[in-house]
Structure 1
Amino acid sequence: MSEQPTTGPIALIVLAAGQGSRMQSDLPKVLHPLGGMPLVAHALAAGRTLEPETVIVVAGHGAEAVRRSVGKLDPEAKIALQTEQLGTGHAVQQTIPQLEGFSGKVMVLYGDTPFIGAETLAALIKAPADVAVLGFEAADPGRYGRLIVEGDELQRIVEYKDATEAERAIALCNSGVMALDADLLRSLIARLGNDNASGEYYLTDLVALARAEGQRARVVICDEAETLGINTRAELAAAEAAFQTRARAQALADGVTLADPATVWFALDTAIGRDAVVGQNVVFGPGVTVESGAEILPFCHLEGCHISAGATVGPFARLRPGAELGGDVHVGNFVEIKNSVLDEGVKVGHLTYLGDAHVGERTNIGAGTITCNYDGVMKHRTEIGVDAFIGSDTMLVAPVRVGDRAMTGSGSTITDNVPDDALAIGRARQVTKPGLASRLMAALRQKKREH
Structure 2
Amino acid sequence: MSQRSCLSVILAAGEGTRMKSALPKVLHPIAGLPMVAHVVKAAEAAGSGDLALVIGHGADEMRKAAQKFAPNAETFVQEKRLGTAHAVLAARGAISKGYDDILVMFGDTPLIEPEALAVARQKLAEGAAVVVVGFRPPNPTGYGRLIEKGGRLVAIREEKDCSDEEKKIGFCNAGMMAVAGRSALELLDKVGNANAKSEFYLTDIVEIAGAKGLDVVATEASFESALGINNRAELAEAEGIWQARRRREAMLSGVTLIAPETVYFSHDTEIGADTVVEPNVWFGLGVKISTGATIHAFSHMTGATIAENCEVGPFARLRPGTDLRKKAKVGNFCEVKQATVEEGAKVNHLTYIGDARVGAAANIGAGTITCNYDGYSKFFTDIGEGAFVGSNSSLVAPITIGKGSYIASGSVLTESVPDDALAFGRARQKTIPGKGKEIRERFASAAAARKK
Identify whether the pair has TM-score above 0.5, normalized to the shorter chain. yes
Q: Report the alpha carbon displacement of residue 183 of structure 1 after superposing the two structures with TM.
A: 4.3
**Contact 1:389/1:405 (8 A) holds in 2:** yes
Residue deviations 1:402-432 (CA, integer Å, cap 9, x gap): 3333343333333344343344433344455
Q: Which residue of 1 aligns with 2:118?
A: 122
Corresponding residue SS for 1:354: strand
Deviations 1:48-83 (A, max 9, x none): 212432233333333344344433334444433334
The amino acid across from 2:318 in the alignment is L
**Inter-CA distance 385–121: structure 2 relative to 1 (3 Å threshold):** farther
1:138-158 Cα shifts (integer Å, max 9, x gaps): 332111122222223222323
Alignment deviations for residues 303-326 of structure 1 (CA, whole Å, 9 cap, x no partner): 222222111111111122222221
* 2:149 counterpart residue number: 150
Spell out the pairing of 1:272-421 with structure 2 (5 A cutoff).
272-421=271-420
Q: How many residues are paired up?
A: 447
Letter of the 1:136 partner, please give it: F
Q: Which residue of 2 aligns with 1:137?
A: 136
Is 1:251 aligned with 2:250?
yes
Q: 1:33 aligns with which of 13, 29, 54?
A: 29
Correspondences of 1:48-87 after superposition (within 5 Å): 48-87=44-83
CA RMSD of aligned residues (A): 2.6
Q: Which residue of 2 aligns with 1:447?
A: 446
Secondary structure of 2:347's counterpart equals strand
Structure 2: runs of 5 or more not aligned: none
Over the matched positions of the two proteins, sequence identity in percent amounts to: 45
Distance change in 2, residues 1:398/1:17 (3 Å): farther
One-letter code aligned to 1:126: Q
Aligned equivalent of 1:227: 226
Q: Which stretch of the first structure deviates more once superposed, 254-263 or 19-28?
A: 19-28
Alignment partners' CA distance in 1, 2:158 and 2:257: 45
Q: CA deviation at 1:177?
A: 0.9
By how many angstroms is 1:385 displaced? 2.8
Q: Which residue of 2 aligns with 1:180?
A: 179
CA change 1:67–1:389 in 2 (3 A) is farther
Look up the equivalent residue of 2:194 and give its one-letter code. Answer: D
The CA deviation string for residues 114-157 of structure 1, in whole angstroms up to 9 with x for no partner, is 22222222212221222222111333211112222222322232
Give the deviation of 1:279 after TM superposition.
0.9
**C-alpha separation between the residues in 2 aligned to 1:133 and 1:270?**
33
Contact residue 8 and residue 48 of structure 2 kept, 8 A:
yes
Using a 3 Å threshold, how does the CA distance of structure 1 residues 348 and 441 change in structure 2: closer, same or farther? same
Q: What is the alpha-carbon distance in structure 2 between the residues aligned to residue 349 and residue 308 of structure 1?
A: 17
Deviations 1:264-309 (A, max 9, x none): 2233333322221111222222332222211111111222222221
C-alpha distance in 1 between matches for 2:381 and 2:183: 60
Corresponding position of 2:192: 193
* Map of 1:47 onto structure 2: 43
How many Å apart are 1:21 and its aligned residue?
Answer: 2.2
In 1: Cα distance, 2:77 partner to 2:388 partner = 57
Is the 2:95–2:102 contact (alpha carbons within 8 Å) kept by the matching residues of 1?
no
Q: Is the 1:113–1:227 contact (alpha carbons within 8 Å) kept by the matching residues of 2?
A: yes
Cα deviation, 1:334-358, whole Å, max 9, x if unaligned, reads 1112222222212111111222323
| Contact 1:10–1:50 under 8 Å retained in 2 | no
1:330/1:178 CA distance change after superposition, 3 Å = same
- State whether structure 2 residue 91 is matched by structure 1 residue 95: yes
For 2:338 and 2:48, the matched residues in 1 are separated by 33
Comparing 322-331 with 31-40, greater Cα deviation is found at: 31-40
Match of 1:24 in 2: 20
- SS of residue matched to 1:205: helix
Name the SS of the counterpart of 2:334 in structure 1. strand
Give the Cα separation in 2 of the matches to 1:407 and 1:96.
Answer: 71
Task: Report if aligned partners of 2:46, 2:115 keep a CA contact under 8 Å in 1.
Answer: no
Structure 1 residue 23: Cα displacement? 2.7
- C-alpha change, 1:406 and 1:192, in structure 2 (3 Å) is farther
Aligned mates of 1:44, 1:401 — CA distance in 2: 47
Q: Look up the equivalent residue of 1:294 and give its one-letter code.
A: A
Query: 1:19 aligns to what SS in structure 2?
Result: coil
The answer to whether the aligner puts 1:8 opposite 2:7 as a matched pair is no
Three-state SS of the structure 1 residue aligned to 2:148 is: strand
CA distance in 2, matches of 1:376, 1:418: 25
Per-residue deviation, 1:206:
2.8
Query: In 2, distance between residues paired with 1:200 and 1:412?
Result: 75
Q: SS state of the match for residue 339, structure 1? A: strand
Equivalent pair of 1:161/1:197 in contact (CA under 8 Å): no
Question: Structure 2 counterpart of 1:39, which letter?
Answer: M
Distance 2:71 2:384 in 1: 37
Tell me, yes or no, if the aligned pair for 1:149 and 1:155 is still in contact at 8 Å. Answer: yes
Counterpart residue type for residue 417 of structure 2: V
CA distance in 2, matches of 1:98, 1:415: 63
Which residue type is aligned with residue 351 of structure 1? L
Structure 1 pair 314–181 and aligned structure 2 pair: CA distance change class (3 A)? same
How big is each residue's C-alpha offset from its partner over 1:348-383, in whole Å with a ceiling of 9 and x where there is no partner? 111112223232222222222222333334333333
Question: Mean alpha-carbon deviation: is it higher for 424-433 or for 328-337?
Answer: 424-433
Instruction: Say if 1:409 and 1:78 are closer, same or farther in 2 by CA, change over 3 A.
Output: farther
Deviation at 1:7, TM superposition (A): 4.5
Report which of the two structures shows the higher radius of gyration computed on alpha carbons.
2
Give the residue type in structure 2 aligned to 1:123.
V
Structure 1 residue 161: deviation in Å? 4.5
Q: Which runs of 5+ in 1 are unaligned?
A: none
8 Å CA contact 1:7, 1:126 repeated in 2: no
Residue pair 1:270, 1:284 contacting (<8 A) in 2 also = yes
TM-score by length of structure 1 reads 0.89
Whether the 8 Å contact between 1:162 and 1:197 is mirrored in structure 2 is no
Query: Matches of 1:440 and 1:20 in 2, distance apart?
Result: 68
Between the aligned partners of 2:419 and 2:433, the Cα distance in structure 1 is 39
